[in-house]
Amino acid sequence: MKISNPVQAVTATALLLSSFFLMNACTKNLADTTLSKQAADAAKQVAVTTVTIADSNLLAYKKSPHEIYAGFYRFQGPCYGAAPNGSNFSQVPDSLDVLILFCFSPTSPIADSVPQWINALHAKGTKVIVTGNLDLAPGAPDNSTGYTITAQRIMDSIVNRYGFDGYDIDIESNPTGTTLTRMAGVYTALSKFLGPKSGTGKLLTFDTNQSGSNNLFRQVYSLVDYVWLQAYGRGASTLQSTWNTFSQYIKSTQFVPGFSFYEERGYPGNVWYDITYPVNGTGRAFDYARWEPTTGKKGGVFGYAIDRDAPLTSSTDNTLYTPTYIVSKKLIKIMNP
């Protein structure tokens, strides 16, 4: 039998060991005990080797040039209850590149579980970052000293404390004046620890429904790893014109448009209709995955509220089947077949 890869090799070894143990099943009890232990040890080795090979391939894929898939996972408490896909965000698809924990707080009843769930995703090469803001730390002065204090507090109390791989800034306004100065100051202070200028490998991202003309973006664009564009409810034909406003500041591979799954209260009130049910590969989310800028490749696609990535019974029914991350898995395959 020709062995074409390491997984086949360890599997073949397991089969040979199993045959040997079966042929000698009539030996004395002591021998049976010894052989059973050998069989168990062999099985464990096969399992460990197979997992190692699978993880190795997955890690190699994550490090290779490809269009990423990212997902915002709304955390249980203080904003949301347990999601349809549960509170354990480490169960997301293996090929997810970046998980963005949304509305996280140390006061959450399950905050203590976050480090172990992050570690589980690290084993698959998935980065986990957290969404936050640029508000000054309590008592910090509104100057460069205060900006440094604020950045250090964010790192100590959130990013480093829980083992996050970066920080995502949610910008849904166009700041001016002293507000702009403060936000840019804190963002710049954070860039010493996070983002492309830090040398740490940790991410600093810009999450927005604004265009590239946003005042804050134009001051900090060189400090940004990815722009997550909240394109919810928009046709894919609008993405090129929005990308044009960013194109002189960042590479196309840093531009990641996003869609939204349905949110609380579901259909028909709180939904963007970016996903068509039943899931058949049509709809805005899939259009985004297939879209490319005219000047190169996009960075990928993100989904907001992937904690609700589960098929619905219809477009007007909030009843869920067993969660499967069916949409996320299809999008990953479209971008990286």
The domain limits of the chain are 6-54, 68-335
* DSSP labels, 152-183: HHHIIIIIHHHT-SEEEEEE-S---HHHHHHH
Q: What is the pTM of this model?
A: 0.82
User: Mean pLDDT, to the nearest integer, of 192-201?
Assistant: 98
What is the per-residue pLDDT for 309? 85
What is the per-residue pLDDT for 75? 85
CB distance 288 to 239 below 8 Å:
yes
Active site residue 263: no
What is the per-residue pLDDT for 280? 85
Lowest mean pLDDT, pick from 32-46, 138-152, 297-311: 32-46
What is the per-residue pLDDT for 304? 94
Residue 328 has pLDDT above 90, yes or no: yes
Q: Which residues does 48 contact at the CB level (< 8 Å), separation at least 6?
A: none
pLDDT band per the 50, 70, 90 thresholds, residue 158: very high
What is the per-residue pLDDT for 276? 79
Backbone CA torsion sign across 314, 318, 319, 320: positive
What is the per-residue pLDDT for 269? 58
Which one is catalytic: 67, 172, 263, 264? 172
**What values do phi and psi take at 227, rounded to 5?**
-105, 115
Lowest mean pLDDT, pick from 25-34, 50-59, 145-154: 25-34
pLDDT tens digits along 111-142? 999 999 999 999 999 999 999 999 999 999 99
**What is the CATH topology of the domain spanning 68-335?**
TIM Barrel (3.20.20)
Query: CA nearest 85: which of 74, 96, 77, 70?
Result: 74
What is the per-residue pLDDT for 233? 93
Residue of higher predicted confidence among 101 and 272: 101
Rounded to a whole number of angstroms, the distance between the first and last alpha carbons of the chain is 30
Lowest mean pLDDT, pick from 236-240, 259-263, 327-331: 259-263
Residue 315 has pLDDT above 80, yes or no: no
